[in-house]
Amino acid sequence: MDKESILRLGLDFIKNIDLDRSDELYDPSTNNHIIKLNLYKDDHIYCPHCGLITNFEIRSSVVKKINHYSSLENNIIIKFYRRIFKCECIKTFREPNPFTESKRKNTIQREVKILYALKDINKSFSDVADEFNLSVTLLVIDFNSFNN
Ligand SMILES: [Zn+2]
């Protein structure tokens, strides 16, 4: 992947994307736009269990799927290959995720975009759900807390 693609996708705020190990795939038959991302290993990571900062051993990795949008497209899937580290205290922990707030499935940019769509008085919940490929139920549960 090149820097221009990262810029076009609005992901340039993340400074440690490993471009050589990242890839962009587009499947026209399903209209799926998938971005596979790996980060450079961050030397400043600390163990959330004991606070140690060291050169942690990498145990394995997991793929975290995150929904993203760019100015051109509403539905982009990021596959973040997230390392699992093992600390000297024996516990394991996951590489920090810079794309989204913990446990949420959308990047912050996409959540902001959805919120703006929900505030549009000309759009119903189901219009917004269609636009962003979400179920109406999930949309209501997920975004209800923002409207209070
Ligand atoms: Zn530890």
Query: Could you tell me the distance, in angstroms and rounded to a whole number, from the CA of residue 96 to the centre of ligand 1?
Result: 15
- Ligand 1 center to residue 7 CA distance, Å? 35
Q: For the whole model, what pTM was predicted? A: 0.82
Mean pLDDT within 44-63: 94
Residues with CB under 5 A from ligand 1 (ion): 47, 49-50, 52, 87, 89
Are 124 and 61 members of one domain? no
Out of 98, 116, 133, a domain closes at: 98
C-alpha torsion sign, points 132, 136, 138, 140 = positive
Q: How far apart are the first and last CA of the chain?
A: 41
Q: Do 82 and 128 sit in the same domain of this protein?
A: no
Question: What pLDDT, on the 0 to 100 scale, is given for residue 147?
Answer: 55
Rounded distance between C-alpha atoms, residue 80 and residue 65, angstroms = 6
Nearest-angstrom CA–CA distance, 99 and 110:
10
Mark whether 93 and 107 lie in a shared domain. no
Together in a domain, 14 and 74: yes
Phi, psi of 71 (to 5 degrees): -65, -15
Let me know whether 91 and 112 are in one domain: no
User: What is the domain extent for residue 3?
Assistant: 1-98
Q: What is the pLDDT of residue 102?
A: 72
Percent of the chain with pLDDT over 70: 97
* Range of weakest confidence among 23-32, 81-90, 111-120, 138-147: 138-147
**CA of 92 relative to ligand 1 center, distance in Å:** 8
